[in-house]
Amino acid sequence: MNHFQYKNGELFCEDISVSAIAKEVGTPFYLYSKATLTRHFKAFDSSFADVDHLTCFAVKSCSNIAVLSLFGSLGGGADIVSGGELFRAIRAGIDPKRIIYSGVGKSVEELRYGLKSGILLFNVESEQELHRLNSVAAEMGVTAPVSFRVNPDVDPKTHAYISTGLSKNKFGIPINESLDLYIQADDMANIEVKGVSCHIGSQLTLISPFVETLRKVKGFVGRLEEKGISIQYIDLGGGLGIVYDDEEPPHPQEYAEAIKEEMSGLEATLILEPGRVIVGNAGIMVTEVQYTKTNRGGDHEKHFVVVDAGMSDLSRPSLYGAYHAIQPVKEDKAVFQVVDIVGPICETGDFLAKDMAFPRVEQGDLLAVLSAGAYGFTMASNYNSRPRVAEVMVAGDQFKIIRQRESMEQLIQGESIPEFVEK
């Protein structure tokens, strides 16, 4: 359930009409509902209430500091994958002791920053990273808390670009080869082995791959214990899917029950890294129709709705062929036609929807692109020198711009013309 609903034919976010916000903010913009963010975070987190756990929100899915701060205030931690995300999480007031650091390519500076900040865990993804982390920690005179990200070789049955737990993917260390690394790490002066972590993919609509993964991890933890290595944290990653169209993902409660059953008998604290399931349906992108046109060929005609947002603002349709439902903000449009909804960018791949049966809209109409809260703004770029759009949060009958629309000056910030270029 989310708080984007029609009232008297007009789309509302909580108690404010979307068109009233558009009037003040201009388009395009991302719009998040605080009540929905809160509801989704609590629905997920409270499903695990009866076990020792930590919900570390995957910052990459929606990284505005207002959103992070909200989850921090609800007791959440953060799953980060870069120094930039660490900076955001700290700025948002998230306790470093609730921050875990994933990712295959951490630089020396990033490791140093994580150590200096006193984060809870580094999810180490290679032998070389382990050695680098040990030497950076030694240089700083500290001990690095480590969990290895193991790759369980489980098929998450999702889009190939977002499946990460197969042995052919770049992520983690093959689970069957990790034991030696744990033994090695256990002997290192500046490493403290604390956990096992994994993340098998995103937008999963089945529970079985999670259960299969946890079984493998459980078996592995047993082997570690035989070697005298005890594990305090088991991190199952993120990945729970949401409804974009006609998917039928499990409810977080169902997912939690299955995980908790597998965890029984284990002493460890459970860490979860959800992103999409919390924010995906808590945000929309609002865009305005600029033009409608029909291109006719010999035996066909194609209708286009050209809007002011494109692949630089929401890249998922272009990048993954992902489906996002799109609806007019005013519901009074009855006649349907099959259209492509496209952006202003000079690429044929710049579309938000293809062959969508859509009410007949006109120049100036506002459209809501649904389920855009996850991997929407965070994947935006400045391609075609388009300033990144504004982000807005609604709470009841109030709204606040939580990120200003970028200005033209910001577009060229940091650029300069060297003397040898000037005449």
Q: Annotated active-site positions, please?
A: 346
> How do 269-272 and 233-235 pair as beta strands?
parallel
Q: Does 199 bind ligand LLP (CB under 6 A)?
A: yes
Q: Does 45 bind ligand LLP (CB under 6 A)?
A: no
- What ranges in 32-121 are assigned the alpha helix state H? 34-46, 65-73, 83-91, 108-117
Q: Does 211 bind ligand LLP (CB under 6 A)?
A: no
Q: Do 245 and 208 meet the contact criterion of CB atoms below 8 Å apart? A: no
239 annotated to bind ligand: yes
Q: Does 207 bind ligand LLP (CB under 6 A)?
A: no
CA torsion sign for 229, 230, 233, 235 is positive
Map the footprint of ligand LLP across residues 277-336, applying CB under 6 A.
277, 316
267 annotated to bind ligand: no
Q: How far apart are CA 215 and CA 221, in angstroms?
A: 10
Residue 254: partners with Cβ closer than 8 Å, 6 or more residues away: 207
Q: Does 88 bind ligand LLP (CB under 6 A)?
A: no
Long-range contacts of 177-182 (CB under 8 A, 24+ apart): 178/148, 178/150, 178/220, 179/220, 179/223, 179/224, 179/227, 181/127, 181/130, 181/148, 182/148, 182/224, 182/227, 182/229
Q: Does 63 bind ligand LLP (CB under 6 A)?
A: no
Angle subtended by helix axes 178-186 and 127-140, to nearest 10: 10
Q: Does 202 bind ligand LLP (CB under 6 A)?
A: yes
275 annotated to bind ligand: yes
Stretch that binds ligand LLP, among 197-205, 255-263, 389-397, 414-422 (CB under 6 A): 197-205
Task: State which residue, 81 or 221, has the beta carbon closest to ligand LLP.
Answer: 81
Residue 301: partners with Cβ closer than 8 Å, 6 or more residues away: 294, 295
Residue 357: partners with Cβ closer than 8 Å, 6 or more residues away: 336, 337, 338
Question: Closest distance between ligand LLP and the C-beta of residue 382, in Å?
Answer: 18
Q: How far apart are CA 307 and CA 298, in angstroms?
A: 26
Which residue of 152, 165, 209, 237 would you call a contact of ligand LLP, by CB under 6 A? Answer: 237
Task: State which residue, 190 or 312, has the beta carbon closest to ligand LLP.
Answer: 312
Q: Does 102 bind ligand LLP (CB under 6 A)?
A: yes
Q: Does 249 bind ligand LLP (CB under 6 A)?
A: no
Q: Does 98 bind ligand LLP (CB under 6 A)?
A: no
Contacts with ligand LLP, 155-174, as mask; x by CB under 6 A: -------x------------
Task: State which residue, 162 or 229, has the beta carbon closest to ligand LLP.
Answer: 162
Quick one: which of 105, 75, 68 has its CA closest to 89?
Answer: 68
Q: Does 72 bind ligand LLP (CB under 6 A)?
A: no
Helix (H, G, I), strand (E, B) or coil at 240: strand
Which residue of 262, 273, 313, 391 would you call a contact of ligand LLP, by CB under 6 A? Answer: 273
Q: Does 274 bind ligand LLP (CB under 6 A)?
A: yes
Structural tokens at position 365: 């109409």
Instruction: Catalog residues that contact ligand LLP under the rule CB under 6 A.
Output: 58, 61, 79, 102, 162, 199, 202-203, 237-240, 273-277, 316, 374-375
Detail the residues annotated as belonging to a binding site. 239, 273-276, 316, 320, 347, 375
